[in-house]
Amino acid sequence: MKKAIIIGATSGIGMGLARMLAANSYKVGITGRRQNLLLNLKNENPDQFIVKAFDVSDTLNVTKNLDSLTVEMGGLDLLIISSGYGDINADLDFRIEKQTIDVNVSGFTAVADWAFNYFALQKHGHLVAITSIAGLRGFRDAPAYSATKSYQIKYLEGLRQKACKHKYHIDVTDIRPGFVNTAMAKSDFMFWVAPVEEAVCQIFKAIKHKKTVAYITRRWTVIALLYKLIPRQLYQYA
């Protein structure tokens, strides 16, 4: 039986992926801050889920928590980072920016480093992270969110390059959603909003095929191309 850990399985995409993996015969370690929600999920399929409640922004304890969970699971093949934070912050409230950085940069990095080192030691593994199409350009009403997602995209690229250089059999998959019907979708201008179930199905396919980058849903590939082509001089007035 394959074994996976999902960082951030209490809601949205993370919870949907936990259910999808369990339905496909994975043993799944589910993590998040809200233990009650993790326990509710475990009750749906007690034999497939193992619960470990912790906050990724508590970076001093990430290694201890993941070590413990992996031992309890008896190994690890796949780790998915689905935890994230972001909010509309037009007034640049630093408390919001700091929380975004604590989760999306510090917590993300602590988990990604742990996973990469674990997979390097065992000679194989698959690291997946849910980033965002927002990481392609800066956004005036959520600058920390777009900046932290850009950080994640570049960090994953660096880990992928590192795996290739050292000939580690580590796959690194960058999942870049557009708008998905979750609590994270907070823009005043939303279109092509995908149901969680549709997004999860496409993400699971990307994981199975060990894609390097996948836009969710696939039509967001077009928007990604447009974002990249808009000149800076024009984009700054958008």
Three-state SS letters, the chain: CCEEEEECCCCHHHHHHHHHHHHCCCEEEEEECCHHHHHHHHHHCCCCEEEEECCCCCHHHHHHHHHHHHHHHCCCCEEEECCCCCCCCCCCCHHHHHHHHHHHHHHHHHHHHHHHHHHHHHCCEEEEEECCHHHHCCCCCCHHHHHHHHHHHHHHHHHHHHHHHCCCCEEEEEEEECCECCCCCCCCCCCCCECHHHHHHHHHHHHHCCCCEEEECCCHHHHHHHHHHCCHHHHCCC
pLDDT tens figures, 129-188: 999 999 999 999 999 999 999 999 999 999 999 999 999 999 999 999 988 876 655 555
Give residue 187's pLDDT. Answer: 55
Looking up tokens 């990481």, which residue turns up?
135
Give the residue extent of every domain in the chain: 3-235
Which pLDDT band, with edges at 50, 70 and 90, does 193 fall under?
confident
Burial category of 63 from C-beta neighbours within 10 Å (exposed 0-12, middle 13-18, buried 19 and up): middle
101 is written with which tokens?
Answer: 């950085």
Which pLDDT band, with edges at 50, 70 and 90, does 194 fall under?
confident
150: nearest Cα among 83, 212, 189, 105: 105
* Angle, in degrees to the nearest 10, between helices 143-165 and 108-122: 10
CATH of 3-235, one of 3.30.830.10, 3.40.50.720, 3.60.9.10, 3.40.50.300: 3.40.50.720
Give residue 130's pLDDT. Answer: 97
Give residue 237's pLDDT. Answer: 74
Would you say residue 77 has pLDDT above 90? Answer: yes
Least confident piece of the model among 61-75, 176-190, 223-237: 176-190
Tally of CB atoms within 10 A around 186: 14
Would you say residue 55 has pLDDT above 70? Answer: yes
116 is written with which tokens?
Answer: 């990469």
Give residue 188's pLDDT. Answer: 59
